[in-house]
Amino acid sequence: MSNYPKPDAATLLEIYKKAALIKQNDERVIKQMMAGKLVMPYYSPRGQEIIPSALSVSLTDDDYICTIYRGIHDMLAKGFPLDALWAELAGRVTGTCKGKGGPMHLTCPEKGMMVTTGIVGSSMPIATGLGWAAKLDGKNRVSVANFGDGAANIGAFHESMNMAAVWKLPVIFLCQNNLYAEHTSIAYSRVVEKISERAAGYGMPGVTVNGNDPDEMYGAAKVAIDRARAGEGPTLIEAMTFRFNGHLLGESGGYMDKDLYADAQTKDPMPILRARLVTEGIASEETLKAIEADIDARIDAALTAAMDAPFPDLAELKRDVFAEEIA
Amino acid sequence: MTEIKKMTIVEAINLALHDAMEADPTVLILGEEVGDVQEGGVMGVTKGLSTKYGEDRVKSTPISEQAIIGAAIGAAVGGYKPVAEIMLMNFIAVPMDMIVNHAAKLRFMSGGQTGVPMVIRTMTGSGFSTGGQHSDYLEAWFAHTAGIKVVAPSTPNDAYGLMRAAIDDPDPVLFIENLPSYWTPAPFTKTIVPIGKAKVAREGSDVTIIAHSLMVTHSLAVAEKLAADGISVEVVDLRTISPWDRETVIASVRKTGRAVVVHEAVKQFGIGAEIASVITEELWGTLKGPVQRVGAAYSAVPFSKPLEQAHAPTPDSIGVAVQAALA
Ligand SMILES: Cc1ncc(C[n+]2csc(CCOP(=O)(O)OP(=O)(O)O)c2C)c(N)n1
């Protein structure tokens, strides 16, 4: 890991801005849900903020990502518009998907967010196809497949890693290993120590990094992205992390190891990065406060606009089933 | 509209793929053994394509049905028009998640932001003693899923014309080819056949048979035979199973007053139930008798020859149903 490229000060601040947006957005979603103002299944990405933030600073709007139900962090990091996000969460017609997708199916092609899936393991085959399209386009785009540790046990994971390797596609398989798949600890679902070891079976590089460490995550992502852009094929990155709010918001987490949970909390990546920015003189306390206040204001505006927006017309039931409406 | 010569369905589909790839550089082919190194597959349907259009556009895949359909979805979302082959229809059970949860739904769930303009070609049909896992008709699974179109040609003409239309369709199309009728030559005219339009394959006045694929051929044979007894049978070839052409079917049954729906798939919960039900709703009071349904026995396709022959509808069993409709 020592030979990985490191983020410079400006990039590190950029990573923090994205991560802070994710964290504050998560807190606001939960607040709205607790107040009964938003009703939806919510899979909090709290604790996993650094992974997509440190990845996305090396991506452009042209690059593709596919993600999963727990993917709001991936989207916000890549620039998903806040207004349309909140409107979609509220099921309003002003949402990116006109309220027909919801939290598990957020889509925003102009920012490269092509597919969000609620089916475990399904982001990989589709991202592979986007990688094929990217290669044919010849625009040096890359395609990122986000998924969890649980998804690494689905057949489609193996099929798509193999196909992407055989076809030398610009795909980054990004496993966000938060140690649990729903209520099941990884201890019950694999015998190898690292999921990244599986890359060897498909002849591609596989690395495990501390996904909560911006240096490691940025470096691994940058190397994989550069490799993909250079036409050298796919990489599997296993980013170790932890989810602080359980699987589905509202569950008690009784299956979790209490010591592990307590230890993870002491390693919450957000206060650590924040403190680092100050100690290294990258940003002052005042600057950070201003950044955070600005994020809050933007969320306020998005939330208000979403709640004021109308629900979709019932005619939407028949629309978008096919390109052309069918009686 | 040039009369070329007699052609088989295999040749017609091959020609359609050639013409589509030539007309549009975004048309892609993928599947097991589709390339010329593998001789264009067991049936040779894709022969010549990889040589002519290159291995970037015509990709032979590993045996990875989830990755094949996933890659096709990704490429489609990324702006291409892939034609993916699933060797035999029974194997479509493997990538069912990709088809039902993703290909069919991405347009709707994204509120129309993304579409999946892909074709899935697949072959099936009993009669080759292949037993339970290699010859099923499963069209009802897909007709029951909103967002995917289902077509099944019965002639080389329709095979060509529907394939061209399917490739240019903005939505996913399942293209079902009947293996036993693959090699029967028939007069051929190059035309585009619109999706969603049935064809009156034979005019008649006493009873209407509604069928698709090989069952059209059987029904025409029945009609020919009954004509000698003074019974005038009209045969409607559905061509597109979903969305099906209610107008043509209803107009025909309004004229004849009697209907028999025939399909090779198992009768229970088959598409015949839907069609019979709509005919009854629309024409109640003018029907001269209950709508008859003919389909395969409620069992897997058997191996033993006499059982296999008794399983699927034959001209004889269709004839019996027509007599019942006339009684
Ligand atoms: C194919 C499939 N099986 C089961 C489920 C139910 N399910 C939803 S999330 C989940 C756990 C997935 O865990 P992981 O891949 O580690 O992702 P994480 O939620 O931890 O981010 C399961 C089993 C599903 N959505 N899809």
Question: What is the per-residue pLDDT for A1?
Answer: 61
Any atom of ligand 1 within 6 Å of the Cβ of A180: yes
Contact of B70 with chain A, judged by CB distance below 8 Å, is answered with yes
Compute, in degrees rounded to 10, the torsion defined by CA atoms B8, B9, B10, B13.
130
Task: Name residue, tokens 């019965």.
Answer: B154
Structure tokens at A78: 């890549």
Q: Give the whole-angstrom CA distance, residue A123 versus residue A104.
A: 12
Classify residue B184 as exposed, middle or buried by CB count within 10 Å of its CB (0-12, 13-18, 19+). middle
Q: Which long-range contacts (CB under 8 A, 24 or more apart) does B47-51 make?
A: B47/B14, B48/B14, B48/B18, B49/B14, B49/B17, B49/B18, B49/B21
Q: Give the whole-angstrom CA distance, residue A212 versus residue A49.
A: 8
Q: Give the whole-angstrom CA distance, residue A204 versus residue A157.
A: 14
Disruptive mutation site among B106, B142, B171 for chain A (greatest number of A CBs within 10 Å): B106
pLDDT higher than 90, residue B245: yes
Q: Which chain B residues contact residue A323 at CB under 8 A?
A: 107, 112, 115, 170-171
Give every residue of chain A whose pLDDT is below 70, as ranges: 1-2
Classify residue B168 as exposed, middle or buried by CB count within 10 Å of its CB (0-12, 13-18, 19+). middle
The contacts of residue A37 (CB under 8 Å, 6+ apart) are A307
Q: Give the whole-angstrom CA distance, residue B205 versus residue B265.
A: 27
- Dump pLDDT digits (tens) for A54-103: 999 999 999 999 999 999 999 999 999 999 999 999 999 999 999 999 99
Structure tokens at B254: 């309004």
Any atom of ligand 1 within 6 Å of the Cβ of A182: yes
- Dump pLDDT digits (tens) for B108-118: 999 999 999 99
Looking at the partner chain, which of B70, B146, B196 has a beta carbon nearest the beta carbon of A125?
A: B70
DSSP state of A197: G
For chain B, give the longest Cα–Cα distance.
Answer: 60
> What's the pLDDT band for B3 if we cut at 50, 70, 90?
low
pTM of the model: 0.96
Any atom of ligand 1 within 6 Å of the Cβ of A148: yes
Contact of B93 with chain A, judged by CB distance below 8 Å, is answered with no
Contact of A166 with chain B, judged by CB distance below 8 Å, is answered with yes
Contact of B75 with chain A, judged by CB distance below 8 Å, is answered with yes
Contact A268, A182 (CB under 8 A): no
- Dump pLDDT digits (tens) for A27-57: 999 999 999 999 999 999 999 999 999 999 9
Q: Give the whole-angstrom CA distance, residue B222 versus residue B216.
A: 10
Question: What is the per-residue pLDDT for B40?
Answer: 85
Please give, rounded to a whole number of angstroms, the shortest distance from the CA of A168 to a CA of chain B: 11
Question: What is the per-residue pLDDT for A252?
Answer: 79
Contact B46, B13 (CB under 8 A): no
Contact A169, A234 (CB under 8 A): yes
Disruptive mutation site among A320, A324, A325, A326 for chain B (greatest number of B CBs within 10 Å): A320
- Dump pLDDT digits (tens) for B294-307: 999 999 999 999 99
B159 closest CA partner among B174, B175, B147: B175
The contacts of residue B66 (CB under 8 Å, 6+ apart) are A125, A155, A156, A159, A160, B94, B95, B97, B98
Residue A120 CA to ligand 1 centre (angstroms): 5
Residues of B carrying an active site annotation: 65, 134
- Dump pLDDT digits (tens) for B63-99: 999 999 999 999 999 999 999 999 999 999 999 999 9
Structure tokens at A294: 């600005």
The contacts of residue A23 (CB under 8 Å, 6+ apart) are A46, A49, A270
Compute, in degrees rounded to 10, the torsion defined by CA atoms A121, A124, A126, A132.
-170
DSSP element (H, E) containing B271: helix B271-283
